[in-house]
Structure 1
Amino acid sequence: MVSKFSQVLSVTRQAPELIVPARPTPREVKQLSDIDDQESLRFHVPVIFFYKNDPSPSMQGRDPVKVIREAISKALVFYYPLAGRLKEGYNRRLMVECNAEGVLFIEADANFTLEQLGDDIQPPCPYLNQLLYDVPGSEGILGCPLFLIQVTRLTCGGFIFALRMNHTMCDGSGLVQFLKGIEDMVRGKCSPTLFPIWQRHILNARNPPRVTCIHHEYDEINNNEVPSDNMAHKSFYFGAKETKALRNQLPFHLKDCSTFDLLTAFIWKCRTIALKLEPEEIARVSCIINARGKRYKTDIPSGYYGNAFAFPAVCSKAEHLCKNPIGYAVELVKKAKAQMNDEYIRSVADLMVIKGRRIKFPTRGNFIVSDLSNLGFGEVDLGWGKPIYAGTAGAVELISFFVKHQNKNGEPGIFVPICLPQSVMERFQEEQRRMMIQGTMEDLCNINQTQISSKL
């Protein structure tokens, strides 16, 4: 249903322009890695930040559009491949032509305040098409700007910073690194605090390539579905009360599982029930896992801003997933994450080369989850303080993102946007309410038993 406010919301945009690097940059062609160069990453991801009118002393009286435009230009000197254009080489191999054509930028003004938006700053953003205008011809993968950025001033003095990123160039960590580089330029630094490193060859296939792991996330099956035209896009909040209700339903040895494991298992189970898969059909869940850092023993250097993740999957017959307690799904999610290590991501790169990079993840019965809650989106300060919301503007097809945010009562928690056909979404909501009530009832039973025991 369209709200009364949305009917009067208006955004006035200036003509799109190209922001180029502030100084001359190398003219060269750089190949993407075999992890970047996956068919399943050839799409754009919208991300949005909402800022209050809370400028730092150095920004008093300054225009955020001008400040950010200049900072982007300076940051592109160091991240100059992002100002280039993608092209294909032999066998559709992606490479970026570093030609300094620039990123696409839109200056805009709105007729509303941040306060008027209320809960609409939470994903999915209902006004995304106004706050991030889809410039005709800009949405392609080849020969198009790699970033589309719109900064919209609000009547309260705050602003909205929205962008759309070509996923083949960066993952979530890489995007945050670029944004922190823009932040450094806003602060007047001469170079980014964390210097960007290309070195995409680090995640290229081995010679000869050899697939050493099982990759259910790329299973080639014939049950892919055409997306429904009647899609519902909603966001679900999980705070302390909600996660406690779910933990109440776990066996003792799983009580201390991570919030990510718990919520992923819960959503996967409810989603599978709502999809009404046949009992013998396979349901999958994939967990997007960042390969950076010592934990996975990869040699990815600090400053690498390319895609450095894999999304290992686990499978279950739909009947087993739907009828077993939630602990069954938690065990499988933990198993999916446990597969990730240096050998696993090397095996993915090798698989891409062997299969010609054309394989994509299956769609029917599949669910992919990415945890963005600790990547640092909420720490990006462009001179007006930290954003009151920062993260993806919503779900992307089969992919849901965990975003850290406060609910309307100011309680911290996790928002998870989900996209499903309308009828499936209704069943999903019914199932998640049922499981939440079940967990709450178990909590009340435990409290009563404790009270009885204390009296005895």
Structure 2
Amino acid sequence: MVAALVNLIQVFPPSSLSAARDDQGAAVAAMRNGFARALVPYYPVAGRVAPSGLVVDCTGEGIWFVDAAARCALADVDDLDSCPLLIPAELLLPLPPAGEKLDGFILMVQATRFTCGGYAVGITFSHAVFDGQSAAQFLRTVGELARGFPGPSVVPVWDRDAFPDPPTSPPPQHLTEFKFVTQVADISAESIARVKDEFKSSTGEGCSTFDAVTAVVFKCRAQALAEAFPDDAEVGVGFAAGTRHLLRGVLPAVDGYYGSCVYLACFTRTSRAVREAALAELVGAVRVAKDAVAPRFVDWMRGGVGHYTVPLDYSTVILSDWSRLGFDEVDYGLGVPGYVFPFDDQANFVGMLYYVRPPAPRRGGIRVVLRCVEEQHAAVFAAELAKFA
């Protein structure tokens, strides 16, 4: 069994670097030392995921770290801010050592220096061990130790044995491989504010940026897929909700816990209902799905059937909000990243999208990285999303 791997790329422009450190060629050495030091308190990360995918063998083999160099400046590849990328993302991500497979690796890193002095740091981590929040926590610790901190500001918590055994998961679904295309869309702060105002006007309540953006993306995708599904076909959105706050009293300590700790929520509507619904109505549907997470998760932990069976087909899109996880707050001594984005071009069995912060200095709003429609629907999807740019 191969654990699901997540890829991300952090882009550090040359303006964020310390010139003195860069001249000494010590930036990557300090980063590497930060990872080495972090593996002491985070000792399981230096191990391997067992073939079952359910156990970490604390072998102490360490992580795989690659020091690489590009023959161009970041500006030559549009600061890695174009879609498609002007350089193959595979060149920016770490590959396992010769003769070894990805099976079992918990974390791999590649630091690529560009001729301008900027860097791209490619991270591959195992979702069986980390979720986004805990991976970001680990990388922030690496940054602290790379910058000379005596220890992590957040003490890591493992304590996997404190979890009760959850009920058996539903049997795997038959999977169909799709030819998803990668797209990027920026949802402006003004559009988000407008959707929030519409919801407040109709309900008297406030809503989050997540609620507003999810309503926009759900409606735009339904518009793009109008010809792909009959009016009465169910289309849905699934999203990973953090559940650490629900583990107080289960774990000895929740702060610092760095395991994968998310619960998949989902809501569906008919294709016609989504296309014709006001955005405020869809915001309400997102909020209802979020409110259902806590009781369903608690029921599931107690052995109930509170989990969702999410159809993994073209009707469904799974989203992940990276805009507040902290990947863009990691400072290895290079300053904070100007841009962080996922790379998942191998995820072709269910539509995926990620919310990230737009590249500096164009802060404000939310950037959505999408792989959730095939080529014949991509142009309409882009046109619908552009209405909210």
TM-score band by shorter chain is 0.7 to 0.9
The RMSD of aligned alpha carbons is 3.4
Out of 62-71 and 259-268, give the one that drifted further: 62-71
- Which position in structure 2 is the counterpart of 1:284? 236
The equivalent residue for 1:3 is none
Query: Paired residue for 1:302, among 234, 255, 260?
Result: 255
Unpaired segments of 5 or more residues in structure 1?
1-38, 212-217, 438-456
Q: Any stretches of 5+ residues in structure 2 without a counterpart?
A: none
Write the mapping of 1:329-340 to structure 2, written as runs, cut at 5 A. 329-340=282-293
**Is 1:242 aligned to residue 191 of structure 2?**
yes
Residue in structure 2 matched with residue 427 of structure 1 by the alignment: 380
| Residues 181 and 375 in structure 2, CA contact (< 8 A), matched pair in contact too | yes
In structure 2, the residue matched to 1:258 is 208
Contact conserved, 1:102 with 1:145, CA < 8 A, in 2?
no
1:84-233 to 2 correspondences below 5 Å: 84-88=47-51, 92=52, 94-118=54-78, 120-121=80-81, 125=85, 127-135=88-96, 140-141=102-103, 144-205=104-165, 209=167, 226-229=176-179, 231-233=180-182
8 Å Cα contact 1:245/1:436 also seen in 2 = no
For residues 348 and 119 of structure 1, what CA distance do their matches in structure 2 show? 44
Alpha-carbon distance in 1 for matches of 2:379, 2:101? 31
Residue in 2 that maps onto 1:372:
322
Instruction: Give the 3 Å change call, closer, same or farther, for CA 287–105 of structure 1 in structure 2.
Output: same
How big is the shift at 1:197?
A: 1.1
Deviation of the 1:298 alpha carbon: 7.1
Post-superposition Cα deviations, 1:79-117, rounded to whole Å, max 9, x if no partner, equal: 1211111114xxx46101111112122111111122333
Q: Deviations over 1:260-301 (max 9, x none)?
A: 111101111221232322222221212322123489997551
Is the Cα–Cα contact under 8 Å of residues 274 and 427 in structure 1 kept in the other structure? yes
Answer whether contact 1:49 1:160 (CA < 8 A) is retained: yes
Give CA deviations for 1:154-175 in whole Å, capped at 9, x if unaligned: 1111211111111111011111
Q: What are the within-5 Å matches in structure 2 for residues 367-446 of structure 1?
A: 367-393=317-343, 396=347, 397-406=350-359, 410-419=362-371, 420-433=373-386, 436=388
Give the TM-score taking structure 1 as reference length.
0.73
Equivalent position of 1:11 in the other structure: none
In structure 2, C-alpha distance between the alignment counterparts of 1:95 and 1:124, rounded to whole Å: 37
Q: Output the CA distance in 1 between the equivalents of 2:283 and 2:102.
A: 38
Aligned position for 2:11: 50
User: Which of 28, 41, 50 is the aligned partner of 1:78?
Assistant: 41
Go from structure 1 to structure 2 and tell me whether the alpha carbon gap of 1:351 and 1:416 turns closer, same or farther (over 3 Å shift): farther
Partner of 2:299: 347
Aligned residue for 2:279?
326
TM-score (norm 2): 0.84
Instruction: Determine the C-alpha separation between the residues in 2 that align with 1:178 and 1:373.
Output: 17
**Cα distance, 1:432 vs structure 2:** 3.1
Q: Aligned with 1:160: secondary structure?
A: strand
Distance 1:146 1:323 in 2: 44
- Distance in 1 (alpha carbons) for counterparts of 2:248 and 2:274: 29
C-alpha distance in 2, partners of 1:195/1:277? 49
CA contact (8 A) 1:292 1:298 kept: no
Equivalent pair of 1:114/1:156 in contact (CA under 8 Å): yes
Secondary structure in 2 aligned to 1:284? strand
Equivalent residues of 2:157, 2:258 under 8 A apart: yes
Q: For 1:347 and 1:125, how far apart are their aligned partners in 2?
A: 44
Cα separation, partners in 2 of 1:295 and 1:324, compared to 1, 3 Å: farther
Shift of 1:332: 0.9
Preserved CA contact (<8 Å) 1:236 1:417: yes
The residue that corresponds to 2:223 in the other structure is: 273
Percent sequence identity over aligned pairs: 24
Match of 2:312 in 1: 362
Q: Which has the larger radius of gyration?
A: 1
Structure 1 pair 377/125, CA: closer, same or farther in 2 (3 Å)?
Answer: farther
How far, CA to CA, are the matches of 2:100 and 2:223 in structure 1? 38
Determine the C-alpha separation between the residues in 2 that align with 1:251 and 1:178. Answer: 38
Question: Any conservation in 1 of the 2:12–2:119 contact (CA below 8 Å)?
Answer: yes
- Name the count of aligned residue pairs: 376
Q: C-alpha displacement at 1:392, in angstroms?
A: 2.3
Q: Secondary structure of the equivalent of 2:358?
A: strand
Q: CA deviation at 1:311?
A: 2.0
- 1:220–1:422: structure 2 CA closer, same or farther, 3 Å change rule? farther
Aligned residue type for 1:362? L
Evaluate the alpha carbon distance shift between residue 140 and residue 195 of structure 1 in structure 2; reply closer, same or farther with a 3 A threshold.
Answer: same
CA distance in 1, matches of 2:13, 2:142: 18
1:312 to partner: Cα distance: 1.3
Contact in 2 for aligned 1:246/1:436 (Cα 8 Å)? no
**Measured at CA, do residues 411 and 339 of structure 1 come closer, stay the same or move farther in structure 2, by a change above 3 Å?**
same
Structure 1 residues 347 and 140: alpha-carbon distance in aligned structure 2, compared to 1, 3 A threshold = farther
